[in-house]
Each structure stands twice: as structure tokens, then as C-alpha cells.
Amino acid sequence: MKVSRTLSIILLVVAIGAGTIADRPVNAPPLTLGGYRVIAADFHTHSSTWSDGALTPWGMVLEARRQGLDAIAITGHNQVSDAKVARWFSRLTGGPTVLIGEEIITPEHHVIAVGIDHIVEWRQSVEAQAEDVHRQGGVAIAAHPFDEFWPYYTEADLRALDGTEICHPGIYGRASRQPELEMFAGSARAAAGGRPLTAIGSSDFHGFGRIGLCRTYVFARDDSAPAILDALRARRTVVYGLHGKAYGDPALVQLAAGHPELRDAAAADAPAGALDWISRVCGIAGLLLLIVAVRRP
Amino acid sequence: MLDGALSFLFIPVIELAAFACVYAMAARRELPFADAVNRFFAGNTPWLLWLVTLAAAGCFVPPQYTGRAFRLLEYAAVVPILWSMVIDFRFFRDTTTQSPRHAIRDVIRMRAIAWPIGIAYFFGIAIWSDAAFILSQWVRR
């Protein structure tokens, strides 16, 4: 029993050590393209505070920095309090720009509100929700609008939206999901008389996976919240979907094409290094051994 | 890692509070509270194994299959649910109650106290949108 316990502790120490070395923060210098600062952002994330995530609001800020993000929106389920805590912490520690967000959840559809100040009431249509978001100076984004959500969006709802998620981790589970997001964007464009919605990519991070997966590249004047929101309203974004397909402003897509590292950072298939594997294997083995070793007091 | 542990601290805290209630209501107490708590938490083994399996799926399954793997593991949660009920039943029979009927009552009491609080905290305010919708449908009928 004592041997098992000692061995499990050694394995866990190795896992933590290897993981810490392998998982160092990404410190890329700021990138400027076409006169704009390229902001790596994730506009749809959830913390553990009343929002079924796995990290605290301050943990989200640290993780976003580790993943090389310049901005995040923490989008609590029908609440904004955890985003405010994260913004306070990020300002205190010089972390990424934190935008106050909310995932407005109704049984019919989910809408991401970014750049708001207080809760948007969920018991109303998407159109009314978007109007409320706009009154607060924010932008309204259709969250993972896969085909099961389509019947509930009216033409007025589609016209009221500012953006739509064109990349979401759901596309990696089922390839047919990517065309669904494209079709929704097409329908919204048609409803708005040819005006495209801002292309958004989000991780919908809850704990598993990686914050910053499917990230949005925002072409903004600077990394302040007002500049990012202005860029979103002006549709100055680039997003990479399945197989690295680019979406967003065509001129900006062309500019970003010369920087493959942008596409690689957004993709799901970033290869894990040897240290990463050592950390994973030792971590799982150590935990299993620990559970078996101490299962009886 | 510490952050994740802090985030899920609410589970043992709620379990502890629920256990304290059940322990206080028990007719017979074979063990002092501290020892009883220690033995009771040892019954979490099925959940710990399930969580490690979940973590292993996150670590080793390629991203394109993780969704499917997690869905499978969600269904597989029935195993720790039932297994932990059996362990708790044995625990309550040995330490706080005598008859199987009372042990079953304590197992149900534990879950009736801990689970709603845990679910309400974890899923948070958004649960109201679904709950209100279901309630409104029910009222309309």
C-alpha cells in the first residue's frame, strides 16, 4: 500500500512538472496587419461560477494568457457577475482584455452578448435581446447555430444579429456541422439584404478542450474593449474553420494568409510534444494508483 | 490544476453538509462524526474512477472523437450512480442504521439534500430558463 502511494505521488509530481514545462505561456509579439492590430480573441467561454465551467473567473484569465489570447469574453449563462470578477482580476494583473459577456440561454436558442454591462433578459425574442445588447453598447452573436436551432430564428431575429459563430468545436465532432454554420450565416445574410454577419469563432470553453480553440482574429485599432467592439461592428474579423478554411472580411483573410501561425493557433489538431505526453500518461496513471491505494481509510 | 480543484470544492462541501444532516437524524451512530465522514468519503471511489476515465478521454482521444467519447461517458455515469448507492447503503447499514429499509431511506436522504443543491450551483441561473419553459408548458396543458 505504501509503495503504491509513494509511486502515485512520484507519478503526479512528474506529471505536474512536465506539464508545467510544456505548458508555458505563448509570448508572441503583437502583430499588425493592414494598419490594424491583430487581436486573438475568444468571445464565448464559461467559468465555474454558476456557469458549468471548470475554471474560476481568475483562472480563465490566466489560462487565456497562457494560450496567447489578447481578449476574452466570459459569457455566463444568463448572468454577468463572473465576467466582472475576471475583468477586475485581469486589470489588476495586466492580463488580456476581458469583455463583459452573457450567453443568453432560452429553450429555443442561445445568443452571445459581448460588451454589455448588465444582464440581458432572456424571456424575449432574439430581436429584443439584440436591441437590449445594442442599447448597452455591445454586439449580439448567434451561438453555435446548428440546424436544431434554425426553426426558432425569425427573419427579424436574423436581421438584428451582429455576428454568428462560423467556427465552434462542434465542427470537429461531426464534419456536417461546419456546413450548417455556413448555411445559417448565408440565411442571415439573405435576411439582411446581403449584409453579412461578422464571422466569429469561439471555443465555448467549459473546461475540457482548449480556451482559444476556434479563436477569432479581430483587426482593431488597439486591444481596448471599445476598439474591439468597433471592429466587430465593422466586421473586421478572420476565423479559421474545419481544415483551415478561412472566413471573414476577404481583404483581411488575404492579409492573414501570409501568417500560417494564426491558423495553427486556432486549429484543434495542434500536435502535443513529448513532455505533454509524459505529463498526461503520468497524471492519469498517478491518479488511478492513488485512488486504488487510498480507497479504504 | 489548483484552480480546477477550487472550482469543484463545492462537491465535497455539499456532500459533507448533506452527510452531517443525515448523521444528525440517524437513530444509531456507531462511529464518531469525523471517522464516519472519513469512511463515507471513501465511498466516492466509483465517481473518482469515472472522473479519471473522463480525464483520460480528454487526454488521449483525438479532438474529432472527444464529443462522442464524452457522450458515451455521460451514459456510463449510470455505473458510478448505482455503484455508489450500493456502497452508501452498506455504509449506512454498518454505521448509522440497522434495517435495510432505514439504510435505503438514508441513501435517498443524502441524495435528496446534496444533489439539488449541487445541480443548482453548478448549472446556475440558466437552469431557470429551462425550468420556466417546462413549467409554462405544463401550466398551459
For A:64-103, CB contacts with B below 8 A are: 76-79, 103
Task: Report yes or no on B135 lying in a domain.
Answer: no
User: Domains of chain A by range and CATH?
Assistant: 34-266 (3.20.20.140)
Give the A:B interface size as CB pairs under 8 Å: 102
Q: Which residue of chain B has the CA closest to A104?
A: B126
Task: Report yes or no on B141 lying in a domain.
Answer: no
Mean pLDDT of A77-98: 94
Task: Report yes or no on B69 lying in a domain.
Answer: yes
A129 or A21, which is more confident? A129
Parent domain of B80? 2-123
How many other C-beta atoms lie within 10 A of the C-beta of residue B58? 18
CA distances in angstroms from A90 to A19, A62, A95, B1, listed in the order given: 24, 8, 4, 19
Q: All 3 cell numbers of residue A171?
A: 465542427
In tens, the pLDDT along A121-146 reads 988 999 999 999 999 999 999 999 99
CB-CB neighbors (< 8 A) of A76 in chain B = 124-125
| pLDDT level of residue B138 (50, 70, 90 thresholds) | confident
Task: Report yes or no on B131 lying in a domain.
Answer: no
Which one of B3, B38, B95, B122 would you mutate to disrupt binding with A, by most A Cβ within 10 Å of its Cβ? B3
Of B4, B59, B62, the CB nearest to A284: B59
A36: left (phi over 0), alpha (psi -120 to 50) or beta: beta
Closest CA to A26 of A65, A71, A72, A70: A65
CB-CB neighbors (< 8 A) of A169 in chain B = 63, 67
Task: Report yes or no on B136 lying in a domain.
Answer: no
Cβ contact, residue pair A173, B64, below 8 Å: yes
Beta strands A31-33; A198-201: pairing state: unpaired
Cα–Cα dist B2/A56, whole Å? 10
Cβ contact, residue pair B60, A280, below 8 Å: yes
Confidence at residue B28, expressed as pLDDT on a 0 to 100 scale: 75
Residue B141: pLDDT above 70?
no
Cβ contact, residue pair B7, A208, below 8 Å: no
In tens, the pLDDT along B50-100 reads 999 998 988 888 766 777 888 899 999 999 999 999 999 999 888 877 788
A147 or B61, which is more confident? A147
Contact status of A275 with chain B (Cβ, < 8 Å): no
Q: What is the mean pLDDT of chain A?
A: 92
Residue A296: pLDDT above 60?
no
Select, from the ranges A11-15, A50-54, B125-129, the one with the highest average predicted confidence (pLDDT). Answer: A11-15
Confidence at residue A72, expressed as pLDDT on a 0 to 100 scale: 98
Task: Report yes or no on B82 lying in a domain.
Answer: yes
Cβ contact, residue pair B52, A16, below 8 Å: no
> What is the C-alpha radius of gyration for chain A, rounded to an integer number of angstroms?
20
CB of B107 closer than 8 Å to CB of B92: yes
Question: How many domains are contained in chain B?
Answer: 1
Confidence at residue B122, expressed as pLDDT on a 0 to 100 scale: 78
In tens, the pLDDT along A217-273 reads 999 999 999 999 999 999 999 999 998 999 999 999 999 999 999 998 888 766 678
In tens, the pLDDT along B10-43 reads 899 999 999 999 988 887 777 888 989 988 988 8
For A:209-268, CB contacts with B below 8 A are: 209, 268
Q: Which long-range contacts (CB under 8 A, 24 or more apart) does A131-136 make?
A: A131/A160
ipTM of the complex: 0.78
Number of H helices, E strands in chain A: 11, 11
Q: Which residue of chain A has the CA closest to B62?
A: A269
B104/chain A closest Cα distance in angstroms: 22
